[in-house]
Amino acid sequence: MGTTDRKFRLVMSWVKSACKSQAEANWVENLDFHHGECFYYTGEIQASGEWNDLTVWENGERRVISEIPSKAAKLLDAIGVDIVWSNSHVSCDVCGEFIPTEAAHAFDTVHFWYDGECGITCDNCLARDGEDYLKALEGRPESPLAKVDLRKYGYTQVSSTEGEYPYEYRQPDFAKMLEKLRLAGITRTLLKTHSNGPFAYSWGLWVHSTQIRKFNKRLGHGIDQRKVVRHVLSAL
Ligand SMILES: [Zn+2]
């Protein structure tokens, strides 16, 4: 057991024994912890919860009924535990790591977790085991997470991403393009956002190796990505 772990147990046993009222018991019940290395935080342990003092409204005024949350946060912070607010992160349902929600990119296309049918999965877990995840995204205009290596799972990029494309090209009709490809029997497609800034946007069309020959037969290969859109929409 590490030093932090030992201290953590001591602090938490104090916190739990100090929680006497129902409000305090509810508060401590709602804490959540993650032990072990975490990509997004530096400490050995992350503690998630509400860390404001507990208050009630009385005669139009807010009255503090318990200072345990703020004291617990100070103690935990002092022993090197990462204090995380419960509304500022999501938890990976596979590895349990906390992922800060503010880590999401401002332009809303780069995410660090996937919220799918089986719950939330972080990009580290998906980078390790991404086959089913990528299959679920095939044919959909939703970019795979940046950390997942598409080559590792048998996909090849069929459009060039040389240079960036101006902002006005950022919204080709991806759904229509993918639908055209699907009707032509090219179903194992992925659209990956490579970069997304305020003035430029670049993306690539990827096709699974099992359908590359079919794609090349219909459309050729190595073509410019703007032409891919035009090509697919007109040729198929
Ligand atoms: Zn994970």
98 vs 44: CA distance, rounded Å: 12
16 vs 14: CA distance, rounded Å: 6
What DSSP assignment string belongs to 94-116?
Answer: TT--EEEGGGS-TTSS--SEEEE
Considering the domain architecture, whether residues 150 and 64 belong to the same structural domain is answered as no
112 vs 192: CA distance, rounded Å: 14
CA of 147 to the centre of ligand 1 (A): 12
- Residues that place a CB less than 5 A from ion ligand 1: 92, 94-95, 122, 125
In the block, tokens 């032409």 appear at: 227
In 3-141, which ranges are E strands?
32-35, 45-49, 54-58, 61-66, 82-85, 89-91, 98-100, 113-116, 119-122
Domain housing 162: 138-235
Burial 43-58 (b: 16+ CB within 10 A, else e): bbbbbbbebeebeeee
Residue 9 included in any domain: yes
Considering the domain architecture, whether residues 78 and 150 belong to the same structural domain is answered as no
CA of 232 to the centre of ligand 1 (A): 36
In the chain, which ranges are E strands?
32-35, 45-49, 54-58, 61-66, 82-85, 89-91, 98-100, 113-116, 119-122, 155-157, 159-160, 165-166, 189-196, 200-208, 223-224
CA of 27 to the centre of ligand 1 (A): 26
Considering the domain architecture, whether residues 143 and 230 belong to the same structural domain is answered as yes
Residue 122 included in any domain: no
Determine the pLDDT at residue 109: 46
Considering the domain architecture, whether residues 230 and 155 belong to the same structural domain is answered as yes
Considering the domain architecture, whether residues 14 and 84 belong to the same structural domain is answered as yes
CA of 137 to the centre of ligand 1 (A): 18
Indicate the SS3 state at residue 2: coil
Residue 41 included in any domain: yes
Residue 143 included in any domain: yes
Residue 157 included in any domain: yes
CA of 85 to the centre of ligand 1 (A): 19
Determine the pLDDT at residue 227: 60
Considering the domain architecture, whether residues 146 and 225 belong to the same structural domain is answered as yes
Write out residues in the chain with pLDDT < 70, as ranges.
1, 103-110, 160-172, 196-201, 220-236
Q: How many structural domains compose the chain? A: 2
Considering the domain architecture, whether residues 149 and 81 belong to the same structural domain is answered as no
Residue 113 included in any domain: no
Considering the domain architecture, whether residues 67 and 153 belong to the same structural domain is answered as no
pTM of structure: 0.74
Domain end position, chosen among 66, 90, 114: 90
Q: Which of 72, 68, 69, 100 is nearest to 84 (CA)?
A: 100
Residue 127 included in any domain: no
pLDDT digits (tens, 9 = 90+) for 117-139: 889 999 999 999 999 999 999 99
Residue 124 included in any domain: no
Domain end position, chosen among 90, 125, 159: 90
Considering the domain architecture, whether residues 78 and 155 belong to the same structural domain is answered as no
Domain end position, chosen among 72, 90, 108: 90
Determine the pLDDT at residue 38: 78
